[in-house]
Amino acid sequence: MTAILQPNHNNTVTDQWHALDLIWQGDETNVKQGLPHHQLSPAWQILLLGDGSPTRYLQLLTTEKTEVDLIDMSTIGKNNDGAPNQVDIISEPRLRRQVWLRTASGQRLAYAASWWDANHVDDYLQNRSLPIWESLSRLHTELYRDIQGIYYGHSLALEKAFQEKGPFWGRHYLFWHDRKPLTLIYEVFSPYLRKYLGKMSESNHL
């Protein structure tokens, strides 16, 4: 597949959150049709391209409760924050939230940055330390997870945080509620999950 050389991220801004330094990225077409198995294994595609809750998937894989370490809640106003382009449809002023998803025993499994309407984030994240899926489930909020893109790339910060060598796979998606965009989420998964999902691909070369 052909690499896209112009990512959606502005690296002069994203020093505030952990966007991947891209080797390759795919769009909605790649998400819908899936990737060749030599590029990304079927088990990893279920995690990355499926529309289910990653919090729930991680809990099922590890048999441990998935917990959140909240590392950032920043009001960014009208700034697009170097986020994927779909951030433009999130109402202003915006708030950026960053978390680690980990097992109850402390193993980090994923990183997530999300962007919210700052005026309404507390309506949905009444306990900001809970995983988003758990918070919204408690409110019985009906959601549609609209996966927009998939990424493969490096991050020195995530290598240090995960204690795993890259490259890493990530994705971004919109949550829709009542036909309106609720939040934009960017997630990157730790290669530690090979313990449960097997190898990511047949080759590290795209």
**DSSP secondary structure string, 71-124?**
EEEEEEET--TT--GGGGGSPSSEEEEEEEEEETTS-EEEEEEEEEETTTHHHH
CB 152 within 8 A of CB 206: yes
Q: Is residue 43 part of a domain?
A: yes
Q: Is residue 96 part of a domain?
A: yes
**Taking the model in full, what pTM does it have?**
0.84
CB 25 within 8 A of CB 93: no
Q: Is residue 156 part of a domain?
A: yes
Q: Is residue 11 part of a domain?
A: no
**Cα dihedral 204→147→77→156 (10° resolution):** -10
Q: Is residue 202 part of a domain?
A: no
Geometric angle at alpha carbon 202, from 33 and 174, rounded to 5°:
35
If you count DSSP H runs as helices and E runs as strands, how many of each does the chain have, helices first? 7, 7
Statement: residue 132 has pLDDT above 60:
no
Number of domains in the chain: 1
CB 140 within 8 A of CB 177: no
68-87 residue pLDDT tens:
899 888 889 998 999 999 99
Token pair 């690499």 in the structure block, residue: 3
Q: Is residue 6 part of a domain?
A: no
146-155 residue pLDDT tens:
899 999 999 9
Statement: residue 129 has pLDDT above 90:
no
**Residue 93 structural domain:** 26-193
Q: For residue 84, is the peptide bond before it cis, meaning its omega torsion is within 30 degrees of 0? A: no
Statement: residue 162 has pLDDT above 90:
yes
CATH code at position 169: 3.40.1410.10
Portion of the chain with pLDDT greater than 90, in percent: 60
Q: Is residue 14 part of a domain?
A: no
* Res 11: pLDDT: 32
> Distance (Å, rounded) from C-alpha 74 to C-alpha 196?
34
Q: Is residue 19 part of a domain?
A: no
